[in-house]
Copies of this chain bind each other. A is one copy, B any other.
Amino acid sequence: MRNTIAFSLTLVVLLGASLTATDASQEEQLRKFIEAKAAKRFTNRPSANGPEETDPWADPSSFSDLPTRCQGPFEGSKAADKIVALPGQPPRVNFDQYSGYVTVSKEFGRELFYYFVESPYDAPSKPLLLWLNGGPGCSSLGYGAMKELGPFRVNLDGKTLSRNKHAWNNLANVIFLESPAGVGFSYASNNSNNNNNVGDRRTAEDAFVFLQKWLERFPEYKGRDFYIAGESYGGHYVPQLATVIKFMNELHGTPFINLRGIFVGNPYLDDYKNGKGFVEFLWNHGVFSDEVWAGILANCTFSPSDDWQCFVATHASQKGNIDLYNIYAPICLQSYYGTYHSSSYLAGYDPCIDHYTETYLNNLEVQAALHARINTSWSGCTDLGYNDGPVSVVPTIKKLVEHGLSVWLYSGDMDSVCSITATRYSVKDLNLPITKPWDPWYTPDSEVGGYVQQYEGGFTFASVRGAGHLVPSYQPKRALVLLYSFLKGMLPPADIPN
């Protein structure tokens, strides 16, 4: 007993640095979640070889209560959701924008907020793509839309927007969903009743209901080629939502949602493989010393049997003030006067953009233009008390591949948190024969955009060279080339273009 108390205290001290972070940015959120989950796993670990976790996503009948068609009358309308203009938006915006709420649980008052941008070029011929950021608890509006692949970036005045010329709505009509309820502008009005089951299951089910109802509001998108993309903890959300859609299509015949594929960047896939890949990546990139690494190798197996010595060994290093989500990126520094500035310069990337985005989205005029609840205190990430998620989504992904879905994973190779090393371990666990070996792929400006390998069933794993966790932020051009290839169902160019 005394040992347990001593352990808990030490654990708090060791985890302190990440748990006391006041700024709940996406950069902190996933790390906090992973650390907390590891601590929980550690304290609750089986005394001997406990039973293996069963796959909670393997049983189709468990979803049979979900609605297949929503019954009218439907709340909300496309016309009401149309955004006249976002405050501070640049001139000549040549595409339509919509945003608003979709009720996913009347009983508990769960309302999911979305932001939808159509393609400026021939929208009716283009597919529909749903984008999901991770955390869990981080906003697809604040991250995906405003910092990564959306049509605008918030300028440093926190009031005006500029165009992102590599926005993904060049290629698709994109929905950014703030998910689950409680994230960003999404909310649950009767929160006390349902905190106990905040987790992967309800997130996927709510997102499914959202899609059903959204398609009633935008009926021209019913049956359109549909893709789900996301990143980070989206490594759970995306394959799980795809699983629900697949089951529901099977249960009820004709596909109402024409799901064609999933495209997930720097995914969080497996608790143990991710932990192993994290420390290995840091060692291989010169962040850990050989000595720290030797300690980890001597004490860790990256399985439930890991004990206190492994925990100590993995926390024995001093990483310094670097962005673990892109170990080479500049960082955002706060001055004594409270202003923010970038520590150095990287073309097109501002590490302080989260602050401008938060300012912008908390402007009442902006909230009104977005049809969001006025006076929402919007923040990029929220602590949800998230408590349901399998140790690994590899079995879920494997079933999607076997089912014939186009499944692509990609990795920005400068991210340590969901590192290429970790993703490789999980890809290996899929145990699929290789059909096209690891080769460079090229962008139109003759850069090696990354490397790509293809497997039986079409499963594809690609790297994006020189990108961190938020691939479209760091390498917008390369990300767009890869998306283009994914949507075309072909590998990106294997040679310098002529």
Interface centre among A286, A288, A411, A421 (most CB of B within 10 A): A286
**Are A438 and B331 touching (Cβ within 8 A)?**
no
**Given A289-B437, A292-B438, A344 and B447 touching (CB < 8 A)?**
yes
- Considering the complex, which residues of chain A in the window 317-353 have a beta carbon less than 8 Å from any beta carbon of chain B? 317-322, 327-328, 330-331, 333, 343-347
**Given A343-B447, A466-B328, A318 and B288 touching (CB < 8 A)?**
no
Q: Give the shortest distance, in Å, between A165 (CB) and chain B (any CB).
A: 14
Closest residue of chain B to A419 (Cβ to Cβ) is B286
Q: Give the shortest distance, in Å, between A330 (CB) and chain B (any CB).
A: 7
**Are B284 and A285 touching (Cβ within 8 A)?**
yes
Q: Give the shortest distance, in Å, between A445 (CB) and chain B (any CB).
A: 6
Chain B residues with Cβ under 8 A from A287's Cβ?
Answer: 451
Chain B residues with Cβ under 8 A from A463's Cβ?
Answer: 286
A148 within 8 A of B: no
* C-alpha spacing A346/B346, complex, angstroms: 8
**Given A286-B463, A320-B440, A345-B347, A447 and B291 touching (CB < 8 A)?**
no
**Are B347 and A428 touching (Cβ within 8 A)?**
no
Chain B residues with Cβ under 8 A from A285's Cβ?
Answer: 284-285, 413
Chain B residues with Cβ under 8 A from A420's Cβ?
Answer: 286
Partner of A290, one of B284, B291, B428, B445: B428
Chain A, 405-433, contact with B by CB distance < 8 Å: what is the 0/1 string?
Answer: 00000010110000011001000100000
Chain B residues with Cβ under 8 A from A345's Cβ?
Answer: 347
A448 within 8 A of B: yes
A446 within 8 A of B: yes
Chain A, 142-180, contact with B by CB distance < 8 Å: what is the 0/1 string?
Answer: 000000000000000000000000000000000000000
Partner of A447, one of B292, B330, B421: B330
Interface size class of A (residues with CB under 8 A): 35 or more
**Are B424 and A290 touching (Cβ within 8 A)?**
yes
A439 within 8 A of B: yes
A110 within 8 A of B: no
A453 within 8 A of B: yes
Closest residue of chain B to A425 (Cβ to Cβ) is B290
Chain B residues with Cβ under 8 A from A289's Cβ?
Answer: 437-438, 451, 453
Chain B residues with Cβ under 8 A from A413's Cβ?
Answer: 285-286
A32 within 8 A of B: no
Chain B residues with Cβ under 8 A from A453's Cβ?
Answer: 289
Closest residue of chain B to A453 (Cβ to Cβ) is B289
Partner of A320, one of B322, B414, B445, B448: B448
Partner of A318, one of B321, B346, B434, B439: B439
A496 within 8 A of B: yes
**Are A321 and B496 touching (Cβ within 8 A)?**
yes
Chain B residues with Cβ under 8 A from A447's Cβ?
Answer: 330-331, 343-344
A465 within 8 A of B: yes
- Considering the complex, which residues of chain A in the window 271-297 have a beta carbon less than 8 Å from any beta carbon of chain B? 281, 284-292
Partner of A333, one of B281, B330, B428, B446: B446
**Given A285-B284, A321-B446, A346-B347, A434 and B466 touching (CB < 8 A)?**
no
Closest residue of chain B to A329 (Cβ to Cβ) is B466
Q: Give the shortest distance, in Å, between A164 (CB) and chain B (any CB).
A: 17
**Given A330-B447, A347-B346, A286 and B411 touching (CB < 8 A)?**
yes
* C-alpha spacing A448/B328, complex, angstroms: 9
**Are A322 and B440 touching (Cβ within 8 A)?**
yes
Chain B residues with Cβ under 8 A from A320's Cβ?
Answer: 439-440, 442, 448, 451
Interface centre among A291, A320, A330, A445 (most CB of B within 10 A): A320
Additional A-B contact list (17), CB under 8 Å, known A289-B451, A322-B448, A328-B465: A285-B413, A286-B411, A286-B413, A286-B463, A289-B438, A291-B434, A317-B438, A319-B440, A321-B446, A321-B448, A321-B496, A322-B465, A328-B328, A328-B414, A333-B446, A344-B447, A346-B347
Where the two chains meet, the residues of A that have a C-beta atom closer than 8 Å to any C-beta of B are: 281, 284-292, 317-322, 327-328, 330-331, 333, 343-347, 411, 413-414, 420-421, 424, 428, 434, 437-440, 442, 445-448, 450-451, 453, 463, 465-466, 496
